[in-house]
């Protein structure tokens, strides 16, 4: 097993404690790599390196030179996409087909934000006071803590690192303990692109041992987090102690709403893609399918027919459609939710158990599972499962669909399937979700803002909105009058 090292201050280091932990391949359930077990000591060194870089070599670069480095990195990622995708699939069990597509797309975030780096202009304010010149500067925050989950490790890191670096910040990145290997391999590309030492640091380890000291470190100015909402709540509280701004990209219980006037083949496809792609392990999983009652039974039959054909097996195989669950605890959680749904009285129409197929070997596989007869009040209709489990809920009209869709604590995404433009626009306005897809699902781009309403998060990643999350505005006042105003009166 390869022993990996962490990137801190431009050097590859073992953890201060000299300890490692195993990273496990979810398809074989066997350890395949050793990852350094970082701790507060490593965080302290990384934060110091990031602070030094922020005030030093990184600050001295022009914004154009910063952008050029980001674009160089983008080109290196593109060259290495296939290899990194293989590493991700080995580490987190997601389909190679999906990871390869993600890795090929990740360079766009670095190109886009690299292009923005030298366009972060301030404004001259036509101030209402005579004899005064007022302008603004857009400035970086300092050291950013980036904390990422296991489901799309490099994509979700790129969503943070690209705007953070473009804005002139430095970064300490803690990847998930379940998927750190690709992060460490990715780190080599920052070196090869020529980033000054300490601009990007990677400290691996557990949430309480690395994440918490990182968030509370006095030199960390901002926290950018993707993960579960409970962890997000805790991180928000830790960040609040230091009055640190946060970006929180959290979970969801997204509704995929199918109206009777929808193009049914596309809608069936979209609902299957929404929940079974990525084995349901995406924050945007369309885990609730809201189906208009008049087409409910026909739709369910078509859905079952397509879902039954899903090929499970080796995620490295390009023909596999549903891979394993990434972690053993998550596998158990998915099975627990299936049991809960059955106990609540939902009707299991497909799957409903661990997969025992020969092609699944000893991996953590769960059969694609579909429940009908789900009441919106059930736990299975409200809590994030993060696995291949779909709840089908019937509705009668638009008002009821909106009520059910908006009826959870989450608000990450929603899908609407209709051929009526009037209905599409009205629904897009009424749904409480950061992303609404009409007649499509699971589309994201570096150009379009992504984030959650309600308990699904705070702030936006991607698009022009994202760079604002990594900047602060300074207002500069210059007195150009020749008079001496009364010092005891506000100017």
Least distance to ligand NAD, CB of residue 174, Å: 6
Closest alpha carbon to 18 in 43, 32, 38 = 38
Strand partners, 393: 290
Among 146, 412, 416, 467, contact with ligand NAD (rule: CB under 6 A) = 412
Q: Looking at residues 379 to 398 of the shown chain, list those that interact with ligand NAD (rule: CB under 6 A).
A: 384, 386
CB atoms under 10 Å from CB of 260, counted, come to 15
Kindly state the number of chain residues that form the binding site for ligand NAD, as judged by CB under 6 A: 31
Cα 415 from chain centroid?
18
Q: Looking at residues 142 to 171 of the shown chain, list those that interact with ligand NAD (rule: CB under 6 A).
A: 147-151, 156
Q: Any idea which residue has 């430095």 for tokens?
A: 170
- Residues 71-89 as b or e (16 or more Cβ within 10 Å = b): bbbbebbbebbeebbbbbb
Binding window for ligand NAD (CB under 6 A); candidates: 73-81, 182-190, 201-209, 463-471: 201-209
Is position 432 an interface residue for ligand NAD (rule: CB under 6 A)? no
Least distance to ligand NAD, CB of residue 234, Å: 5
Is position 211 an interface residue for ligand NAD (rule: CB under 6 A)? yes
Distances (CA, A) of 35 to 3, 5, 303, 337: 6, 7, 41, 31
Least distance to ligand NAD, CB of residue 209, Å: 9
Structure tokens at 477: 């006042």
Is position 176 an interface residue for ligand NAD (rule: CB under 6 A)? yes
Is position 93 an interface residue for ligand NAD (rule: CB under 6 A)? no
Torsion from C-alpha of 464, 466, 472, 478, nearest 10 degrees: 0
Binding window for ligand NAD (CB under 6 A); candidates: 57-65, 206-214, 239-247, 294-302: 206-214
Catalytic residues: 249, 283
Among 86, 137, 234, 333, contact with ligand NAD (rule: CB under 6 A) = 234
What are the counts of helices (DSSP H) followed by strands (DSSP E) for the chain? 15, 21
Distance, CA of 254 to CA of 266 (rounded, Å): 18
Q: Are strands 220-226 and 246-249 parallel, antiparallel or unpaired?
A: parallel
Binding window for ligand NAD (CB under 6 A); candidates: 39-47, 161-169, 203-211, 392-400: 203-211
Least distance to ligand NAD, CB of residue 5, Å: 18
Is position 250 an interface residue for ligand NAD (rule: CB under 6 A)? yes
Q: Which residues lie near ligand NAD (CB under 6 A)? A: 147-151, 156, 174, 176-177, 206-208, 211-212, 215, 226-228, 231, 234-235, 249-252, 283, 384, 386, 412, 452, 457
């Amino acid at each position: 097993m390869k022993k990996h090292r962490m990137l801190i201050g431009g050097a590859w280091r073992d953890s201060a404690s000299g300890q490692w932990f195993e990273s496990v391949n979810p398809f074989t359930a066997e350890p395949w790599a050793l990852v350094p077990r970082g701790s507060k000591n490593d965080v302290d060194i990384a934060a110091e390196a990031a602070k030094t870089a922020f005030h030093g070599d990184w600050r001295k670069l022009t914004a154009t030179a910063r952008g050029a480095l980001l674009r160089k990195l983008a080109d290196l990622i593109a060259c290495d996409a296939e290899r990194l995708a293989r590493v991700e699939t080995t580490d987190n069990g997601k389909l190679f087909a999906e990871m390869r597509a993600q890795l090929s797309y990740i360079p766009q975030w670095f190109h886009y934000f690299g292009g923005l780096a030298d366009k972060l202009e301030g404004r001259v304010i036509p101030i209402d006071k005579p004899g005064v010149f007022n302008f603004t500067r857009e400035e970086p925050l300092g050291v950013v803590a980036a904390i990422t989950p296991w489901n799309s490790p490099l994509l979700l890191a790129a969503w943070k690192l690209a705007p953070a670096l473009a804005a002139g910040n430095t970064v300490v990145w803690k990847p998930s303990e379940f998927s750190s290997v690709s992060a460490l391999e990715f780190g080599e590309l920052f070196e090869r692109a020529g980033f000054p030492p300490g601009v990007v640091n990677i400290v691996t380890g557990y949430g309480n041992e690395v994440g918490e000291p990182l968030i509370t470190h006095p030199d960390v100015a901002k926290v950018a987090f993707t993960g579960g909402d409970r962890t997000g709540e805790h991180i928000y509280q830790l960040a609040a102690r230091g009055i640190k701004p946060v970006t929180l990209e959290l979970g969801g219980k997204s509704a995929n709403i199918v109206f009777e006037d929808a193009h049914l083949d596309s809608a069936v496809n979209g609902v299957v893609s929404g929940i079974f792609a990525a084995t349901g392990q995406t924050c945007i999983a369309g885990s609730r399918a809201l189906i208009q009652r008049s087409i409910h039974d026909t739709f369910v039959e078509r859905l079952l027919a397509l879902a039954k054909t899903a090929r499970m097996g080796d995620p490295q195989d390009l023909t596999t459609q549903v891979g394993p669950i990434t972690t053993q605890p998550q596998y158990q959680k998915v099975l627990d939710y299936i049991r809960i749904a059955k106990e609540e009285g939902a009707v299991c129409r497909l799957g409903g158990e661990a997969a025992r197929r020969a092609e699944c070997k000893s991996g953590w596989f769960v059969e694609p599972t579909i429940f009908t007869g789900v009441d919106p009040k059930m736990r299975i209709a409200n809590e994030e499962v993060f696995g291949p489990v779909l709840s089908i809920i019937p509705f009668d009209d638009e008002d009821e669909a909106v009520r059910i869709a908006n009826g959870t604590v989450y608000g990450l995404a929603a899908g609407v399937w209709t051929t009526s433009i009037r209905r599409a626009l009205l629904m897009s306005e009424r749904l409480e979700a950061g992303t609404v897809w009409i007649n499509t699902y699971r589309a994201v781009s570096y150009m379009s803002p992504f984030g959650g309403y309600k308990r699904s998060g705070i702030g936006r990643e991607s698009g022009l909105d994202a760079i604002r999350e990594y900047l602060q505005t300074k207002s500069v006042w210059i007195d150009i009058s020749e008079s001496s105003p009364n010092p005891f009166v506000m100017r």
